[in-house]
Amino acid sequence: MPRPRASPLLLAAVAAAFAPSIEAFSPSSSSAVVENAAAFRSRSTRLQMGVGSAARRVRDSVLSKERNREDLKIGIAGFYDRSSKLWEDIWGEHMHHGYYVPEDRTDHIQAQIDMIDESLKWAGVPNEGEPGTPSKVVDVGCGIGGSSRHIARKYGASTKGITLSPYQAQRGNELASEQGLADQCEFRVADALDMPFHDEEFDLVWSFESGEHMPDKTKFVDELCRVVAPGGRIILVTWCHRDLEEGEESLTKKEEKLLAKINRAYYLPRWCSVDDYVKLLEERGAVGIKRDDWSYTIAPFWKAVIKSSLSLKSVVGLMKSGFSTIRGAYAMFLMLKGFNMGLIKFGMITCQKPEV
C-alpha cells in the first residue's frame, strides 16, 4: 500500500493547530515564536475551516494501543527512514538534545556537540590524550552517526553504530567517508536487543536517546552488559518517566494518557524510570553506577525545535516526509508538556563492568 502523503491543506491545518500549543508552553522571552505562529494561524484561517477534520486526524492518531515488538521495529525504521533527511537538513548530523548551560545560549548545533562532550565528562571518561580513553566504541541507536564520528575524532577510536533504519545506516557511512573517517566508523542495520557483536567487544558502550524505543528493557540492558568489556563503561542517556514516589504503584491516569499519545507518534513502547534502569544494572553486577536528571540542561531545546518547525524549509520538508513525520512534529508539544509537568525526565546513567 502506498504511503499516505501530506497535502498542503493538511499541513496548514496542522500548523494552525500547533500555534496555540506554542503560546501555551513558550515563555514571554519567546515572543518571536508566538508572533510567527499567530501570523501563520491568521493566514491559514480559511484553510483551517475546510480541513479541521484533517487536524483532528493528526491529534487523534497519537492515540492507540501498544504495538508489539515487530510492529515497533517496522515503525521505528520507517519513521527514521522518512524523517532523518529533514532533521539533517534543519539541524545537522546530531539527532539528539543540546546542552544548554547557560540556558540562554543560541548556538544550537554546538549545544548538541557539547551534550556529547559533557556526557562523556560526567561519566568519567578521560580526556583525549589521557590514559584510559576508549578505543573500541559501539553506538547503540546511532542515528546518522553524529556521536560516533565525534567520538572517533576525539579519541582516535574505532566506532560501530547500529540502527533499525537502512537510510540512517547508509547516510552514516556516507558521512564517515566524506569526513575521512571510513576506516574508523562503520554503521549497519541491527537490533539492539540482539546485537551482532562478540561478548565483551567494546570498552565504551554508548546509547544516546535510543533506550526509550526498546520494548524489552531487561533484554536491552542484558545486551549492553554483554558487549562491554571488563573495566569498560556503559553510558545510557534516555527519556524516562519520573521515579515513583514512596507508596505509588504506578503513574497517574493523566500521566499514562500523555505518554500513550507520545508513544503513538514516536513508535515507543511502555516507558520506565531511571530507578528501573538502575535496578536492572545492579542485578547484573554493574559497579560505579551513577545517575542524574539532566532535564534542566535540555529545557530550551524543544522550544528551539518547535521554532524551527515553523520555517518555510521545515514546512516543505514535512510535506515531503509524509504523515508520520507530521504526527511526530505535533508530538513535540506533548513532549514539552511532559517535561514541563515533571513527568518526562532526561535520564543520565553510567556504570562499569567489573574487572576480571
Domain residue extents for the chain:
61-356
Q: What pLDDT is stored for residue 78 in this prediction?
A: 92
- SS (HEC) of the chain: CCCCCCCHHHHHHHHHHHHHHHHHHCCHHHHHHHHHHHHHHHHCHHHHHHCHHHHHHHHHCCCCCCCCHHHHHHHHHHHHHHHHHHHHHHHCCCCCCCCCCCCCCCCHHHHHHHHHHHHHHHCCCCCCCCCCCCCEEEEECCCCCHHHHHHHHHHCCEEEEEECCHHHHHHHHHHHHHCCCCCCEEEEECCCCCCCCCCCCEEEEEEECCHHHCCCHHHHHHHHHHHEEEEEEEEEEEEEECCCCCCCCCCCHHHHHHHHHHHHHHCCCCCCEHHHHHHHHHHCCCEEEEEEECHHHHHHHHHHHHHHHCCHHHHHHHHHHCHHHHHHHHHHHHHHHHHHCCCEEEEEEEEECCCC
Q: What pLDDT is stored for residue 61 in this prediction?
A: 38
Give the type of residue at 262.
I
pLDDT tens, position by position, 271-297: 999 999 999 999 999 999 999 999 999
The candidate with the shortest Cα–Cα distance to 238, out of 97, 72, 99, is: 97
Q: For 61-356, which CATH superfamily applies?
A: Vaccinia Virus protein VP39 (3.40.50.150)
- Segments of the chain scoring below 70 in pLDDT: 1-67, 306, 308-330
pLDDT tens, position by position, 316-333: 655 565 555 566 666 788
Q: What pLDDT is stored for residue 155 in this prediction?
A: 98
pTM: 0.80
Grid coordinates given for 86:
529533514
